[in-house]
């Protein structure tokens, strides 16, 4: 399926319509293919674009190499989150998660493999699914978002096996502690909660905004409002508070650094001690996601990508500068 154009738009105005779409586009999610040579990006119009990293990084790359090799309509609303296994791409929208076969996506004629909806309290409830998390040891997928719960889906049977309740507002993000196995969730209620998957219960709660050194009331209590902070989980105490005024929307560890992005165009590089090592500007006025391609099968495509409030995905071949941008 190609990108949707309203039937009322004459062919002569199609380019104008698509230019306006790009002008108002937000890219919410990104995901690398299992081979590491392709990048999927999901936007606020429900579209997923597939880019060829190997073509864009080639010494013979042209401007066309930075455009999608295929774009398809995945959801009616925004594509909030995506994750990938060796065979499947999972995408989440309003109240639903869909599975796509990578092999079919790359043939430019893909149809969804399946679509699932978590068991919501009422049939009228269609909350957004903001976060997806794979738990390989369980062969499961965890979904979280607007209904304040963590839903676990068995990937073999497609059934929902448990719902973890505790958050009192939207859940924004999930992270896995693989050894235990435990899951961390952060939400609009200002808490980070640690869940033991074996016992299916909450085992720890950190109320970030209640710590005076982290609190920033003018930004609110939601995760991202208080200061960017490194925490010692066992003692539930902040160890490093990073001097960043703007709210950060995405944070990830990379080697001995912490990378963060949010309000503003820069990818921020931090030492664990709290020292700002570098701020690398990108092309978007605000960033919502960072993604590191570390697939061993494609070392030539090892890049950092950053996307947010524009139609572009910035590509960093090293952490020091933006090499180029991919564009819807």
Q: Percentage of residues in the chain with pLDDT exceeding 70?
A: 96
Residue 47 has pLDDT above 80, yes or no: yes
State mean pLDDT over 224-248. Answer: 93
Q: Percentage of residues in the chain with pLDDT exceeding 90?
A: 83
In angstroms, the CA 162 to CA 142 distance is 10
Q: Which pLDDT belongs to residue 3?
A: 47
pLDDT single digits (tens) 90-135: 999 999 999 999 999 988 778 999 999 999 877 777 999 999 999 9
**Per-residue confidence band for 11, with pLDDT thresholds at 50, 70 and 90:** low
pLDDT single digits (tens) 273-326: 999 999 999 999 999 999 999 998 899 999 999 999 999 999 999 988 999 999
Q: Which pLDDT belongs to residue 1?
A: 43
Strand partners, 98: 91, 115
Residue 252 has pLDDT above 70, yes or no: yes
Q: How many domains does the chain have?
A: 1
57 neighbors 70 (Cβ within 8 angstroms): no
Tokens representing residue 282 in the block? 């990108």
Q: What is the distance of C-alpha 166 from the center of its chain?
A: 22
Q: Is residue 187 situated within a structural domain?
A: yes
Q: Which residue has the higher pLDDT, 220 or 11?
A: 220
Q: Is residue 159 situated within a structural domain?
A: yes
pLDDT single digits (tens) 35-46: 999 999 999 999
Q: Is residue 42 situated within a structural domain?
A: no
SS3 content of the chain, % helix, strand, coil (to 5): 10, 45, 45
Q: In this structure, which long-range contacts are made by residues 261-264, counting pairs with CB atoms below 8 Å and at least 24 apart in sequence? A: 261/287, 261/288, 261/289, 261/290, 261/306, 261/308, 262/224, 262/286, 262/287, 262/288
Going by C-alpha positions, the residue among 315, 327, 294 that lies closest to residue 34 is: 294
Q: Is residue 64 situated within a structural domain?
A: no
Bond preceding residue 181 cis, omega within 30 of 0: yes
CA distances from 32 to 112, 154, 165, 255, 327 (A): 18, 22, 31, 19, 16
pLDDT single digits (tens) 287-300: 999 999 999 889 99
pTM for the full predicted model:
0.92
Q: Which pLDDT belongs to residue 106?
A: 87
Q: Is residue 221 situated within a structural domain?
A: yes
State mean pLDDT over 195-219. Answer: 93
Q: Is residue 89 situated within a structural domain?
A: no
28 neighbors 291 (Cβ within 8 angstroms): no
**Per-residue confidence band for 2, with pLDDT thresholds at 50, 70 and 90:** very low
The strand order across the sheet containing 97-101 reads: 81-84, 88-92, 97-101, 114-116
29 neighbors 39 (Cβ within 8 angstroms): no
Q: Is residue 197 situated within a structural domain?
A: yes
Q: Which pLDDT belongs to residue 90?
A: 98
State mean pLDDT over 197-213. Answer: 94
- The DSSP call for residue 289 is E
Q: Which residue has the higher pLDDT, 223 or 50?
A: 50
Residue 136 has pLDDT above 60, yes or no: yes
Going by C-alpha positions, the residue among 34, 6, 211 that lies closest to residue 105 is: 34
State mean pLDDT over 200-204. Answer: 96
Q: What's the whole-number average pLDDT of the chain?
A: 93
Q: Which residue has the higher pLDDT, 299 or 2?
A: 299
Q: Is residue 283 situated within a structural domain?
A: no
Range of the domain at 214: 118-241
Q: Which pLDDT belongs to residue 19?
A: 87
Domain CATH for 230: 2.130.10.10
Residue 142 has pLDDT above 60, yes or no: yes
State mean pLDDT over 172-196. Answer: 94
């Amino acid at each position: 399926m190609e990108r949707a154009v309203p039937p009322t738009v004459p062919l002569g105005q199609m380019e104008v319509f698509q230019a306006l779409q790009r002008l108002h586009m937000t890219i919410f999610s990104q995901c690398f293919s299992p081979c590491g040579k392709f990048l999927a990006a999901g936007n606020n119009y429900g579209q997923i674009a597939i880019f060829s990293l190997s073509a864009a990084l080639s010494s013979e790359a042209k401007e066309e190499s930075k455009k999608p090799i295929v774009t398809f309509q995945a959801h009616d609303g925004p594509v909030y989150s995506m994750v990938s296994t060796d065979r499947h791409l999972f995408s989440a929208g309003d109240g639903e998660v869909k599975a796509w076969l990578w092999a079919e996506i790359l043939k430019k004629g893909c149809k969804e493999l399946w679509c699932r909806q978590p068991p919501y309290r009422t049939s009228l409830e269609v909350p957004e699914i903001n976060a997806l998390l794979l738990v390989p040891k369980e062969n499961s997928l965890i979904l979280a978002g607007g209904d304040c719960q963590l839903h676990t889906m068995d990937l073999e049977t497609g059934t929902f096996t448990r719902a973890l309740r505790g958050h009192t507002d939207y859940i924004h993000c999930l992270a896995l502690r693989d050894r235990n196995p435990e899951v961390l969730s952060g939400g609009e209620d200002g808490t980070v909660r640690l869940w033991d998957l074996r016992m299916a219960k909450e085992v720890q709660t950190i109320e970030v905004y209640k710590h005076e050194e982290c609190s920033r009331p003018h930004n609110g209590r939601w995760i991202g409002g208080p200061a960017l902070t490194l925490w010692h989980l066992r003692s539930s105490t902040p160890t490093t508070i990073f001097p960043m005024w703007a709210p950060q929307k995405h944070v990830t560890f990379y080697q001995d650094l912490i990378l963060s992005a949010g309000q503003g165009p820069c990818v921020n590089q931090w030492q664990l001690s709290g020292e700002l090592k570098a701020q690398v500007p990108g092309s978007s006025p605000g960033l919502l996601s960072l993604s590191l391609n570390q697939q061993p099968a494609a070392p030539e495509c090892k890049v950092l990508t950053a996307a947010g409030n524009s139609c572009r995905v910035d590509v960093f071949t090293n952490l020091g500068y933006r090499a180029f941008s991919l564009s819807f």
